[in-house]
Amino acid sequence: MSLSSAISIAQQAFSNTAQQTAIVSKNIANAGNADYSRRLALLGSTANGAQVVSIYRAQNEALLKQSIAGMGEASGQARLREGLELMKSALGGNNYETAPSKLLADFRNSLQTFAATPGNKSIAATAVSDAGDLADSLNKASRSVQDMRENADKEIALEVDKLNGLLAEFEKANNAVKAATAQGTDPNDALDERDKILKQVSEIVGISTTTRGNNDTVIFTTDGTVLFENIPRSVTFASQNTYDATTVGNKIYVDGVPIAAGTGADTTAKGKLAALVQLRDDVGPKFQSQLDEIARGLVTLFQEGGQPGLFTWGSPGIPPVGIVPGMASKITVNALAKANPLMLRDGGFDGTSNNPTGNAGYTDLLDGFVNKMGENMAFDPLSGLDSSSNIMNFATSSVGWLEQFRKTASTADDSKQALLSRTAEALSKQTGVSIDEELSLLLDLEQSYKASAKLVSTVDAMMAALMEAVR
């Protein structure tokens, strides 16, 4: 080996070490970055000896796709759970203290107490007040449901805007990957950015991907609609300003195809959008229909002469069997009962008193009301509960339905989050940065540098000896 060859080899070794050290330093700097994949400088044999021929980016496509799918499922389940937790809080939290079922039971107890002492006006006033609390709880629960739907609608609009922005960013990253691949330059930073965007997109809408020539990626929604191919597809949504029980939310469209809502407590929703649509168009309306049926039941049970009695709902007459959208938001206690609580005992809301003499021991109406509250009546099966039940059990079943739905959603959320965590951990082991490994590699590079330096030092000494000999 000539001295010039030795110098050339040493120079190449220094160059290799410098590139490898730069890669290791970059890895260490991104050790805490979940969106960074570890790099490794690969050496190859050339005419001038070993040299860095490419930069390898750690990747595992199967785990990445599984992780992206898991993010969509976990995101959708978490958003459904969050919405159900808000509905639970609106009804008084863990014990549902302000739920209509609780206040209905309190009202019935007041009726029974009043029936035991029908001449006591203060107890009559308490019973009417409890009836007012019951009506208020239905009003507030109804408003909470519609507020939840309205907020979900607004959040959908924000998430759609965010999704369109991410797709525009994905186009840039994808173009950068294709260009670098075609030109033979390093595409790794662009690949990291593209994978990062894919993860963010999957939290909004469930996706799958396929990769074509030049590392070009196409994105589909989980139902097969193209979300991105060369350019982003249009995602559109028209938000509603306000919501009541009669409002029907608008659909979200991807390239003209509507996004389907999630179904079930262990929801099929992948991504926030499907879960938000489920809350807005399925869970909220279902619970609203149960509240409306409770309100209809109260107006029906306490009617007099085919007209509303103790409870009114802003319309004449008694509604037939069937859901009256928004009735729970309108029910109130008759102003006549507030002015004269003894009308609850005597009747007269229809203009004819059942106790014209004002007998203080008259209990026929009160006993009848208490009994009717324990008798079965017809309810609309579209409410999702029994079509034949007494109003007490129906109201209790409504809270039970919500709590069971919430509990199942919570359990499913824990499971999906755990699965996502395990998948992310497995992916991190394959593509993430280990500080211990990088520091170990740095020590190896230090030894390589020392060897190269020793070679240069030896060549330098030989050159010096040669020059001395020439003199």
The CA distance from 247 to 384, in Å, is 20
Question: 465 pLDDT exceeds 90?
Answer: no
> Given pLDDT bands bounded at 50, 70 and 90, which one contains residue 8?
low
Model pLDDT for residues 259-303, shown as the tens digit of each residue: 999 999 999 999 999 999 999 999 999 999 999 999 999 999 999
Model pLDDT for residues 73-102, shown as the tens digit of each residue: 999 999 999 999 999 999 998 889 999 999
Could you tell me if residue 242 is left (phi over 0), alpha (psi between -120 and 50 degrees) or otherwise beta? beta
Phi, psi of 109 (to 5 degrees): -60, -40
> Given pLDDT bands bounded at 50, 70 and 90, which one contains residue 24?
confident
> Given pLDDT bands bounded at 50, 70 and 90, which one contains residue 321?
very high
Please give the average per-residue pLDDT across 307-313, as a whole number: 96
Model pLDDT for residues 130-169, shown as the tens digit of each residue: 999 999 999 999 999 999 999 999 999 999 999 999 999 9
Average the pLDDT over each of 52-56, 127-131, 328-332, 340-344 and give the range with the smallest value: 52-56
Question: 455 pLDDT exceeds 60?
Answer: no
Model pLDDT for residues 404-445, shown as the tens digit of each residue: 999 999 999 999 999 999 999 999 888 888 888 878 877 776
Two structure tokens written together for 462: 């030989």
The pLDDT value given to residue 91: 94
Q: Which is nearest to 260 in space by CA: 222, 303, 298?
A: 222
Burial 177-215 (b: 16+ CB within 10 A, else e): bbebbeeeeebbbbbbbbbbbbbbbbbbbbbbbeeeeeb
Beta bridge partners of 208: 220
Residue with tokens 């978490």: 78
The pLDDT value given to residue 29: 86
The pLDDT value given to residue 105: 96
The pLDDT value given to residue 310: 97
**CB atoms < 10 A from the CB of 439, how many?**
11
By the 10 Å C-beta count (0-12 exposed, 13-18 middle, 19+ buried), 122 is classed as exposed
Between 403 and 37, the higher pLDDT residue: 403
Model pLDDT for residues 366-378, shown as the tens digit of each residue: 999 999 999 999 9
Q: What is the mean pLDDT of the chain?
A: 90
Please give the average per-residue pLDDT across 311-332, as a whole number: 95
Two structure tokens written together for 456: 């240069």
The pLDDT value given to residue 28: 85
The CA distance from 321 to 253, in Å, is 36
Between 440 and 187, the higher pLDDT residue: 187
Model pLDDT for residues 202-226, shown as the tens digit of each residue: 999 999 999 998 899 999 999 999 9
Residue with tokens 């996004």: 259
